[in-house]
Chains A and B, each alone.
Chain A
């Protein structure tokens, strides 16, 4: 299974958080918003011009700046084979 970051994920896709790359402060702040290793997320939207990524986690939507989103690593859920041209 390939690890990708949040910005590489496509809108509508789901996956689990596998790694949060960053200092203690960053990890603490993302954890406080419910973003932790093992959590399932769905990408709701991305914005043009390296804008923030919005994800849904539990019942909550969180907007994450582009640079931060690059440091949150995701493993995509099964069933979405990248070789399948009808996906994404």
Chain B
């Protein structure tokens, strides 16, 4: 049987490949306004002349001589493609054409998608498309991925894609050719600076950029909290308490309020009542934790993150923090894995790919796993620790921040190898589009519901099983000296540490029924954040770092958790 045809979407970083990919295949992938959003390739399918073909969203690359891991992936993919849709940023023709010329030297048909066409007008750029087609001898279709303009024509002209089989040039020859082509097809006229463009400069010049960054981060936190708390207080809690509780109560009565099924599904009754925080049944705590406590914060966090991603703010933040990050053995762009890690450590771990050196990946992954709790865990800590007063939350999060700094400085001095420097394109600001923003948010929420919730349920299920077969009692006894002498926690808290391997939010929730003092709650939450990543993150980290580095990283995590836990126990 003949292999299915494969179309590759290739282009420089941040030219809008992922948006075009969504338009062509209907498969939604995370697209943002910063270089390096796509670090792994995604596949989808589309109809081309009544034939089903495979479409691949290839990570952005400047050249076919790879300089990073993401670029290597891109070049590897080229070997197995039948057609390249070369996505070119019309506002940066010259630089984008380098990859185009390299592609034309390969033996593969190419069509150009001249994206961001709408931006050329207000930037005073005038490109003669026919002339460009004439010079390159391949079809060129202007598009605007965000509005979908030109996509139909792009699809209808794909069959015309050609391989002009240009002889191989060297680098200088290609630049000379590009200079000639651009000189012929592009005319620049003066344009007036818009408000957004003035903001672009203001948010990168230190005198204005630092206050802007402080305000942005402060406001972001406030808004995330406001929306998260609002959703819980006005929608989710009333729903669970008023509508859902009576239903599960009836079910509990139906099961006769005891027995195996009752304890798995409903859990323990607290003074004859179901307590969503403490009962620990699949239908009670198992649903309340992910939906009633975590989901509202997942929603508000990704709403705000999506806005700043699409605006193009993150690379500017990277530039501002660059010199501080160098003290931690990283450069500014390492804020991307850290920020994504706040949403979920899994994409955070994947994003370490935008760092070049093994040493940087190791430091970034270790720091993220230890000191950056995911939003699910944060939501639980806010719910549980915040109940005892806001200043307690401050203790937990500033402890994590101090760990991040100190451990970073130590790793920078002790991990062998070199660290690279930042060299990134700073994208123009784009006003985020509601449609694209909400699709991205929806994808991330769906991802949470489909991937995280099953793990939460599994976690709650295991809690019951492990208690049932006595494993938790046994390990409580074994680890009792460690837990009480070193960390000042009751021996039962070991159960949370065991379940924390699976899901951190469930683990934090397990501290709830233990009647801990505020001090113990702070220590417990902090140790849970630090001591080990959840299984999903762990799996990705093994793949990204290799088993040897991951074991080293894990050892650091456990040691740091014990030290920090004991210190907090002594100080507080």
Contacts and interface: CB of A to CB of B under 8 A. Distances in A.
B315 interface: yes
Nearest to B182: A58
A33 B175 CA distance: 12
A63 B175 contact: no
A63 B426 contact: yes
A30 interface: yes
A32 B323 contact: no
B177 to A, nearest CB: 14
Contacts of B205: 11, 44-45
B410 to A, nearest CB: 20
Interface in A62-77: 62-68
A7 interface: no
A63 B319 contact: yes
A25 B421 CA distance: 13
A64 B204 contact: no
Nearest to A49: B323
A31 interface: yes
B63 interface: yes
A60 interface: yes
Contacts of B320: 47, 51
A88 interface: no
Nearest to B95: A34
B255 interface: no
A65 B63 CA distance: 21
A36 interface: yes
B423 A47 contact: no
B201 interface: yes
Contacts of B171: 28, 31
Contacts of A50: 323, 326
Given A44-B205, A52-B422, A59-B92, A65 B67 contact: no
B206 interface: yes
Most chain B C-beta atoms within 10 Å of own C-beta, residue among A28, A44, A65: A65
Given A60-B95, A63-B318, A66-B421, A36 B426 contact: no
Contacts of B425: 33, 60-63
Contacts of A63: 315, 318-319, 322, 332, 422-426
Interface residues of A, number: 31
A28 B125 CA distance: 26
Contacts of B423: 29-30, 33, 62-65, 68
Nearest to A63: B319
B40 interface: no
B65 interface: yes
Contact of B426 (A25, A31, A49, A62): A62
B98 interface: yes
Contacts of B204: 44-45, 54, 61
B94 interface: yes
Contact of B67 (A28, A44, A48, A59): A28
A29 B318 CA distance: 19
B322 A47 contact: yes
Contacts of A34: 92, 94-95
Given A11-B205, A65-B331, A68-B423, A32 B319 contact: no
A33 B319 contact: no
Given A25-B67, A28-B67, A63-B426, A51 B92 contact: no
Interface string A17-43: 000000001001111111010000000
Given A34-B94, A47-B322, 20 more contacts: A31-B171, A32-B98, A34-B92, A36-B175, A45-B209, A45-B319, A47-B206, A49-B324, A51-B322, A52-B322, A54-B204, A54-B426, A59-B91, A59-B125, A60-B95, A61-B425, A63-B315, A64-B422, A65-B331, A68-B421
14 contacts: A28-B63, A32-B63, A32-B67, A36-B175, A45-B206, A46-B206, A52-B319, A60-B95, A61-B200, A63-B426, A64-B422, A65-B421, A65-B422, A65-B423
